[in-house]
């Protein structure tokens, strides 16, 4: 009487969905102390552009807050942590004062239209398909190397795992992680 075939179907579906998510997860997930950084990406920039954005997700699995305070990259003169806000109907961005707090047990998403990394004084255009090594600076976790996957100019999110699953050795220097 309590047997319900539809429950099995539902379970099967859930299992399938979670497996599916796993298989399209991004090649790079960087762990640094209590932080897990994933889905790091950026957009291609038009020639001559001097700035580019950077987007990722930071999850704090620990019990203490941390802060993303800045970073650096060889691809640009400076790297800042920015936020967007709308003032009088105009989208503006400015550096996050004192760093971006990552509360314990929470994830913070840097995405177009919100918090983002700002690569200032780009040394060369970012090209779709390239990988841009970036060193993030956290208050507690310290320096963390991640790689931004460069998507198309109008990309709204990170690209799937299609193509480019392998890691560039040069991008791997600085942390000991290997392929899982
Ligand atoms: Cu910005």
The answer to the question of residue 12 being in a domain is no
Q: Please give the distance, rounded to the nearest whole angstrom, from the Cα atom of residue 120 to the centre of ligand 1.
A: 9
In angstroms, what is the span from residue 82 Cα to ligand 1's centroid? 5
Q: What spacing in Å lies between the alpha carbon of 64 and ligand 1's midpoint?
A: 27
pLDDT of residue 47: 86
DSSP state of 124: S
Q: Cβ(126)–Cβ(44) under 8 Å?
A: yes
pLDDT at residue 60 in the model: 98
Cα(83) to centroid(ligand 1), Å: 7
pLDDT at 5: 53
Domain with 79 in it: 27-156
What's the CA-to-centroid distance between 76 and ligand 1, angstroms?
A: 13
- Which pLDDT score, from 0 to 100, does residue 10 have? 52
- Residue 67 included in any domain: yes
Helix (H) or strand (E) holding 17: helix 5-23
54 Cα–ligand 1 center, Å: 9
Beta strands in the chain (DSSP E): 29-32, 35-43, 51-60, 66-72, 76-87, 90-95, 100-102, 107-110, 116-122, 131-138, 142-151
CATH number, domain at 144?
2.60.40.1890
Cα–Cα nearest to 138, from 53, 72, 51: 72
Is residue 39 a part of any domain in this protein?
yes
Report pLDDT for 165: 36
- C-alpha pair distances (Å), 91 with each of 78, 120, 149: 22, 18, 25
Q: How far is the CA of 129 from the centre of ligand 1 (A)?
A: 22
Asked, for residue 141, whether it belongs to a domain, the answer is yes
Q: Cα(180) to centroid of ligand 1, in Å?
A: 33
Stretches in the chain below the pLDDT threshold 70: 1-27, 160-180
**Total domain count, the chain:** 1
Distance CA 82, CA 45 (A): 18
* Residue 87: inside a domain: yes
Residue 33 lies in a domain: yes
pTM of the model: 0.73
CB-based neighbours (< 5 A) of ligand 1, an ion: 82, 93, 118
Residue 113 Cα to ligand 1 middle (Å): 9
Residue 119 alpha carbon to ligand 1 centre in Å: 8
Q: How many Å lie between the centroid of ligand 1 and the Cα of residue 175?
A: 27
Whether 15 is covered by a domain: the verdict is: no
Q: Is residue 176 part of a domain?
A: no
Question: What is the predicted pLDDT for the residue at 67?
Answer: 98
């Amino acid at each position: 009487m309590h047997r319900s075939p539809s429950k099995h179907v539902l379970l099967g579906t859930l299992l399938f969905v979670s497996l599916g998510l796993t298989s399209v997860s991004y090649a790079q997930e960087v762990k640094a102390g209590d932080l897990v950084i994933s889905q790091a990406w950026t957009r291609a920039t038009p020639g001559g552009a001097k700035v580019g954005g950077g987007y990722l997700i930071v999850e704090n699995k620990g019990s203490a807050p941390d802060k993303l305070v800045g970073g650096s990259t060889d691809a640009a003169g400076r790297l800042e942590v920015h936020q967007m806000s709308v003032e009088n109907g105009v989208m503006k961005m400015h550096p996050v004062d004192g760093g971006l707090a990552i509360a314990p047990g929470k994830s913070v998403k840097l995405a177009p239209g919100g918090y983002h990394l700002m690569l200032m004084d780009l040394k060369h255009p970012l090209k779709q398909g390239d990988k841009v090594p970036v060193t993030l600076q956290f208050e507690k976790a310290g320096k963390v190397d991640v790689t931004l996957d460069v998507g198309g100019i109008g990309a709204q999110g990170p690209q799937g795992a299609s193509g480019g699953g392998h890691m560039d050795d040069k991008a791997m220097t600085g942390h000991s992680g290997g392929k899982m």
